[in-house]
Amino acid sequence: MEAALQHPDLSPQEQWVERARKVLPAGGFGNFDPSMIIARGEGARVWDEDGNEYVDLLIGSGPMLVGHGHPEVLEAAEAQMREGMTFFANNARGIELAEEICGAVACAEQIRYVSTGGEADMYAMRLARAFTGRSKILKFEGGYHGMSGEALMSLMPTRLENFPMAVPDSAGIPDSVRDAMLIAPFNDIDFVRSLIAEQGDDIAAVIVEPLQRIVPPEPGFLQALREETEKAGIVLIFDEVVTGFRFAYGGAQEYYGVTPDLCTMGKIIGGGFPLAAIAGRADMMAHFDKAKSGADGFLFQVGTLSGNPVASVAGLKTMEILRRDGAYDTLRATGRRIMGYIGAKMDAAGIPHKVVGDETLFEVVFTEEERVRDYRAVQRGDQARAKRYNQLLREKGIFKSDGKTYPSLALTEADVQQVCDAIEHAARHLE
């Protein structure tokens, strides 16, 4: 810590910010507000380098569902570290985790490990192309599927084009990638049907977040998506990197009762360590097996840390905790309480809003519209008011992203009360 104290007139956090600016583009890792330097976490709380304490509603962007430093997860990870941290070879813990995932997730007959959710999504799209021999991918505007060229089409476009034209969100992506992507509005099954009717013979896959960021599927949307893709021989991919083991033990596909062909998972399955997976039907997953697929159908994939044993045991222990009686009831009750409090306080203050999402993952959108059903409806909300809302929460010790609220099992009554007090403070001071 002494090395950080180079400018006595600055606080420790300010000094770390200055150091970061010299060695990191934009002074950060690209994930979050670079003015926040988190020093440690415990349970549902985090502390910054100045010692400020926050209730954590970010929880690492989702993976810390049972809280920071859960003693059982730590014990399991520490025991494995003494036996070895990585091998670049099969290990028993990774096999055990694969068995647990395949037993829990409806579409998962087999899995293949990677290290990040973005990798999993990239390989899932590539796998769909290998399986079908088709080239185009249909995704939904505003859907987040990692950082591949395909995923960075119409993720958060500021220029709204007519559907199904894709808009790149990053420099450095060839036009050929854009031309292979089709974009549809979320929750609009009629538009999807029209696209499939026109171009279905070229579409390899439809990739979708069952709950798109915070926007839930309208009744029947996912079921219709399953029906339309099945009829057209199109691979349906559920991106469950966020929703997997959060919505229910079997993920959003269990919660909504719709089984895709493939799904991707991350975050929770690694228990806070880097781990993700592609899961799906055995006939599709056979493309990862050269002996079954042949050289022309083989999908080459390796990763230095894939199936890492430390991440595997942390994931196994996290999943064991989630299987315990009442875990999901508790999580949903906590989320429902916070959602209700937001609604009540914004109503009392006369602030137009909608609390959008699921009890396990949600956000308030400041809008007068009756329905928030897609990316454009979220964007039409009052963005300045949303920014002010998050600033006011942080002033009262609430750590969260600008676009999502992640409840966790680690939240105590005192934590929830602090969140509610901060919401009341924000409602009083929003213009």
pLDDT along the chain (431 residues), means of 10: 64 96 95 95 98 98 97 98 96 98 98 98 98 98 96 92 94 95 98 97 98 98 98 98 98 98 98 97 98 96 96 98 98 98 97 98 97 96 97 97 96 98 96 73
The first and second tokens of residue 330, run together, are: 């508790």
pTM recorded for the entire structure: 0.96
So what's the pLDDT on residue 1?
45
Give the C-alpha separation, 279 to 359, whole Å. Answer: 25
Residues 6 or more apart whose Cβ sits within 8 Å of residue 221:
187, 189
Closest CA to 394 of 55, 22, 9: 55
**All domains of the chain, ordered by start, with CATH?**
1-35 (no CATH), 43-69+326-429 (3.90.1150.10), 71-322 (3.40.640.10)
How far, in whole angstroms, is CA 373 from its chain's centroid? 18
Residue 302 DSSP SS3: coil
So what's the pLDDT on residue 8?
78
Closest CA to 137 of 202, 232, 54: 202
Q: Which amino acid is at 292?
A: K
So what's the pLDDT on residue 2?
47
Asked if 25 and 14 touch (Cβ cutoff 8 Å), the reply is no
The first and second tokens of residue 418, run together, are: 């602090």
So what's the pLDDT on residue 376?
96
Beta pairing, strands 262-265 & 276-280? antiparallel
Which residues participate in catalysis according to the annotation? 144, 239, 267
So what's the pLDDT on residue 159?
86
